[in-house]
Amino acid sequence: MTTLIHRLALALLLAAPAAQAQLLPLDVSISGDTADVRIGPALSPLADLQLDFDDSTGLSAASLGLNAQLVTVSAPALLARLPSGLVSVPTDLPLMITVEPPTLGGLAFERRVHVEVHTHALPYTAGSRLRLFKAPLGGAFRDITSAVEPGSVRTRGTTGGFSQFVVALDLRPTDAVVAQKIQFLRDQAALLAASEQAPLVAMIDGIEDAVAVEDFAAANALLDAMRSRVSARAGTHIPDDWRATRDVANIAGELLSGLDTLAFSIGYLRDYGP
């Protein structure tokens, strides 16, 4: 019944003039380091968004620069931003959420933002291929999922920055997804000084080797070790700040977020295969 109500509400929104470009109503509440956002009509919201910051300053509805809109899931411009033809935005939740803090809005945070998109518009199944994707404004989307849980569907991920999010169905081989997430960690580590880069690259190599022989316990142990090292050195040897002025690089946040989503995909590979 809940899913039917959301489908009817979505149909009404899509039937409105210029529906694909319209911004959906948002209700934003802030408490401490957490922003809760209801997206869509008050009586039948399409989704709820939660942003939980590790440590923020200047957090407000205005400083987040939030909006949400319906998208045409078959639009070439959107398809070009997704990783491959095996990734698609569901027609039951054709929703793009943008978090683009204004430059002078005063928002800053350290390390990560924990992102959750909760919707009753999609059904949950064990081993779900629904994922949370993130992109820079107008750029390419990548999978940042750290959990997919029931209720009806809760997709969770973490990020060291912003700005656009979609829930998408990802039918790519999981081993290929793991390989891409390992490469993301390599790209982030490459931004550091050689003395910081070398031990992280050694751990990444170890994770890759362990996954290749399906030694998932060893891979997870190395993930934990790398997470501990990045956390311990964040803010001193590894930059961990994000500011709305975009004048610093939050490398620690991106590394920690990359480890979060890699751990999810390695677990999925272990439990459900490639």
Domain of residue 6, CATH code: 2.60.220
User: C-alpha distances in angstroms, 224 versus 29, 125, 206, 260?
Assistant: 34, 28, 12, 10
Do residues 13 and 53 share a domain? yes
Do residues 114 and 215 share a domain? no
121: CB partners within 8 A, 6+ apart? 3, 6, 7, 10, 46, 47, 92, 93, 152
Do residues 50 and 84 share a domain? yes
Do residues 164 and 178 share a domain? no
Do residues 31 and 74 share a domain? yes
Closest CA to 260 of 110, 109, 156: 156
The domain boundary residue, chosen from 124, 145, 170: 170
The domain boundary residue, chosen from 150, 170, 190: 170
Do residues 224 and 248 share a domain? yes
Do residues 125 and 191 share a domain? no
Do residues 116 and 64 share a domain? yes
Give me the tens of pLDDT residue by residue for the chain, a chain 274 residues long: 555 445 545 554 554 444 445 789 999 999 999 999 999 998 889 999 999 999 999 999 999 999 999 999 999 999 999 998 999 999 999 999 999 999 999 999 999 999 999 999 999 999 999 999 999 999 999 999 999 999 899 999 999 999 899 999 999 999 999 999 999 999 999 999 999 999 999 999 999 999 999 999 999 999 999 999 999 999 999 999 999 999 999 999 999 999 999 999 999 999 999 9
Domain tally for the chain? 2
Residues pairing with 266 in the sheet: none
Give me the pLDDT at residue 23, please: 84
pTM, to two decimals: 0.92
Give me the pLDDT at residue 50, please: 98
Do residues 210 and 156 share a domain? no
What helix, strand, coil percent values describe the chain, rounded to 5? 35, 30, 35
Give me the pLDDT at residue 22, please: 72
Do residues 20 and 135 share a domain? yes
The domain boundary residue, chosen from 143, 170, 197: 170
Do residues 139 and 200 share a domain? no
Give me the pLDDT at residue 60, please: 97
Do residues 142 and 208 share a domain? no
Compute the distance between CA of residue 187 and CA of residue 209 in angstroms, rounded to an integer.
Answer: 18
Give me the pLDDT at residue 12, please: 47
Give me the pLDDT at residue 4, please: 47
Closest CA to 96 of 72, 78, 71, 115: 71
Structural domain range at position 251: 174-272
Other Cβ atoms within 10 Å of 261 Cβ, number = 27
The two three-digit tokens of residue 201, written as one number: 């690259």
